[in-house]
Amino acid sequence: MMTSELVAIDERRLLRRLDDLAQRGALPSGGLYRALYTPAHVAATELYADWCKEAGLLVRRDAVGNVWGRVEGSRGGRAIVTGSHIDTVRGGGALDGALGVVAGLEAVASLVAQFGRPTRILECVAICEEEGSRFSTNFWGARAIADRLEPDEAQRARDADGITLADAMRGVGLDPARASQAVRRDIDNFVELHIEQGPILDESNERLGVVRTIAGTAHLEVTVRGQADHAGAAAMERRRDALLGAAAMTLAIAKVATDMGPPAVATVGTIGVEPAQVNVVPGLARFTVDARHSSAALRLELIAEIAKACKVIGRERELAVDVRTLRDRPPVQLHERTTDALRRAARAAGVEPREMVSGAGHDSQILSAAAHAAMLFVPSIGGRSHRADEATAAEDVVLGTRVLATALRDLAYAA
Ligand code: HGY
Ligand code: MN
Ligand code: MN
């Protein structure tokens, strides 16, 4: 370990770049949307690549479009990596993912400028996709790195217009047949700075958190089948309205999570009906459920209770109910010794970081299968995230970046 002084960074450059990145994908109605392989996404990754070049890093776009900036270490070995995702949710804010992308680069650039070549390979990365906001898949970038892509996934995943992920890749000059070449087996540590996205740090007036556990997430698709009917001629008591059933299920799902208590959460985020006509009783309703818990056992119980509640309502209303699992990611514990590097760096700033559970999903949860992963949180004002007014105080953005840089110095410049 080197000196315990906090690493200096270029604060103005960091904040300006966060603003610049937020212009890529800015929506006229407020907020931003950088969906994988769209022009806004390409513009953001090109900007990031330019900044990496400016810092004198070796820049590379991998087989799925993750962009890496690298400095070789004098002793080689396995790499020390920092970064986050450059895509956003629809109408998202300027920091979810972007903070870890811009701060990661700032940390690496500052270290190289001040301390020269590290002993270990040091890299920053803009991960191409994490949010699942365009295609029927998520964590595409991190899963490619961690060798967790499914066979033919790029051919199967589609966006709302029916465009396959494979075609979208071709559209930006990537070959879907080569996606597996993005795998990295030589990463030692992955350290990610991220906004908390919840209210805990902000409400307790704490400035830094380290993540011990990332909650597991299940995405379910529930299909409810009743009977389409005439909206004028079918009497209310004779109907088998699929949407009314789905509405009752939505309320029941929220109750299951509420009754289980924190940190159980369950969200119905999308719903559609067929035939979707103003004067037809819906014969089919289909909705998604996002269910999360940080305990492996309680998460399974939550999922089972949700499925049971839907089935019970289906029986009561004479509706057929099918519950399908779209994706299922168990909770993940982050790496203790790598987290220690963050704890030491936070203490160098005079801050005892809070030990936290993340309800939000992160690239680190995927990369922890391929590397020793650790995460640092800075406060989200009002706990706001996945919305346009997501914000973190500038001094916390700066503090988080300096602590990240200090932890990376600890890891990458060790004798
Ligand atoms: O869904 C999540 O938790 C993440 O923001 N993608
Ligand atoms: Mn997000
Ligand atoms: Mn994120």
What is the DSSP track for 268-307?
Answer: EEEEEEES--TTEE-SEEEEEEEEEESSHHHHHHHHHHHH
**Of residues 228, 375, 386, 248, the one with CA closest to residue 312:** 248
Residue 60 and residue 193 share a domain: yes
Distance from C-alpha of 234 to C-alpha of 103, rounded to nearest angstrom: 60
- Is 5 among the domain residues? no
Percent of the chain, pLDDT > 90?
A: 99
Q: For residue 402, what is the domain's CATH number? A: 3.40.630.10
What value does the mean pLDDT take over residues 373-381? 98
Averaged pLDDT of the chain? 97
Read off the pTM.
Answer: 0.95
Mark which of 286, 312, 329 sits at the end of a domain.
329
Residue 201 and residue 346 share a domain: yes
Residue nearest to atom 2 of ligand 1 (CA): 361
Mark which of 299, 329, 359 sits at the end of a domain.
329
What value does the mean pLDDT take over residues 89-101? 98
Question: Which ligand 1 atom is at minimum distance from the Cα of 292?
Answer: 3
Residue nearest to atom 6 of ligand 1 (CA): 131
Residue 175 and residue 39 share a domain: yes
What value does the mean pLDDT take over residues 10-21? 98
Residue 210 and residue 224 share a domain: no
CA 301 to centroid of ligand 3, rounded, Å: 26
- Tell me: pLDDT of 2 over 70: no
Per-residue model confidence as pLDDT tens digits over 245-263: 999 999 999 999 999 999 9
Residue 77 and residue 57 share a domain: yes
Residue 159 and residue 45 share a domain: yes
Q: For residue 194, which ligand has an atom nearest its CA?
A: 3
Residue nearest to atom 1 of ligand 1 (CA): 361
**Of residues 389, 357, 32, the one with CA closest to residue 212:** 357
Percent of the chain, pLDDT > 70?
A: 99
- Tell me: pLDDT of 225 over 50: yes
Q: For residue 88, which ligand has an atom nearest its CA?
A: 2
- Is 2 among the domain residues? no
Residue 160 and residue 235 share a domain: no
Residue 360 Cα distances to 196, 243, 263, 331, 364, angstroms: 8, 29, 11, 11, 11
Q: No. of H helices and E strands in the chain?
A: 12, 15
- Is 274 among the domain residues? yes
Does residue 282 have a cis bond before it (omega within 30 degrees)?
Answer: no
- Is 20 among the domain residues? yes
Q: For residue 93, which ligand has an atom nearest its CA?
A: 2
- Is 162 among the domain residues? yes
Instruction: Give the 3-state secondary structure of residue 256.
Output: helix
> Best of 90, 386, 390 to mutate for ligand 1, by most ligand atoms within 8 A of CB?
386
Q: What are the helix (H) ranges across 87-207?
A: 98-115, 140-145, 153-156, 165-171, 200-204
CA 7 to centroid of ligand 2, rounded, Å: 28
pLDDT attached to residue 76 = 87
pLDDT attached to residue 415 = 85
CA 415 to centroid of ligand 2, rounded, Å: 37
CA 97 to centroid of ligand 2, rounded, Å: 7
- Tell me: pLDDT of 1 over 50: no
Q: For residue 361, which ligand has an atom nearest its CA?
A: 1
- Tell me: pLDDT of 242 over 70: yes
Question: Which ligand 1 atom is at minimum distance from the Cα of 290?
Answer: 1
CA 390 to centroid of ligand 2, rounded, Å: 11
Structural domain of residue 181, as residue ranges?
A: 11-215+331-412
Q: What domain count does the chain have?
A: 2
Residue 347 and residue 306 share a domain: no
CA 361 to centroid of ligand 1, rounded, Å: 4
β-partners of residue 214 are: 332, 358
Q: For residue 95, which ligand has an atom nearest its CA?
A: 3
- Tell me: pLDDT of 186 over 70: yes
CA 413 to centroid of ligand 1, rounded, Å: 32
Torsion of CA 320, 321, 322, 326, to 10 degrees: 150
Per-residue model confidence as pLDDT tens digits over 117-156: 999 999 999 999 999 999 999 999 999 999 999 999 999 9
Reading the block at residue 13, the tokens are 């450059």
- Is 4 among the domain residues? no
- Tell me: pLDDT of 3 over 80: no
Residue 313 and residue 201 share a domain: no
- Is 401 among the domain residues? yes
- Tell me: pLDDT of 116 over 50: yes
> Best of 36, 95, 130, 134 to mutate for ligand 1, by most ligand atoms within 8 A of CB?
130
- Is 6 among the domain residues? no
Residue 77 and residue 168 share a domain: yes
Pocket of ligand 1 (CB under 6 A): 130-131, 360-361
**Of residues 125, 165, 146, 145, the one with CA closest to residue 35:** 165
Distance from C-alpha of 410 to C-alpha of 345, rounded to nearest angstrom: 8
Residue 140 and residue 76 share a domain: yes
Residue nearest to atom 4 of ligand 1 (CA): 361
pLDDT attached to residue 220 = 98
Residue 53 and residue 121 share a domain: yes
Question: Which ligand 1 atom is at minimum distance from the Cα of 197?
Answer: 5
Residue 215 pLDDT level (bands cut at 50, 70, 90):
very high
Question: Which ligand 1 atom is at minimum distance from the Cα of 362?
Answer: 4
CA 415 to centroid of ligand 1, rounded, Å: 37
CA 360 to centroid of ligand 3, rounded, Å: 7
Reading the block at residue 334, the tokens are 């982050």
**Of residues 140, 19, 147, 146, the one with CA closest to residue 87:** 140
Q: For residue 218, which ligand has an atom nearest its CA?
A: 1
What value does the mean pLDDT take over residues 287-299? 98
Question: Which ligand 1 atom is at minimum distance from the Cα of 138?
Answer: 6
CA 350 to centroid of ligand 3, rounded, Å: 26
pLDDT attached to residue 66 = 99
Mark which of 329, 350, 381 sits at the end of a domain.
329
Q: For residue 251, what is the domain's CATH number? A: 3.30.70.360
Element at 402 (helix H, strand E): helix 394-412
Instruction: Give the 3-state secondary structure of residue 347.
Output: helix
Question: Which ligand 1 atom is at minimum distance from the Cα of 96?
Answer: 5
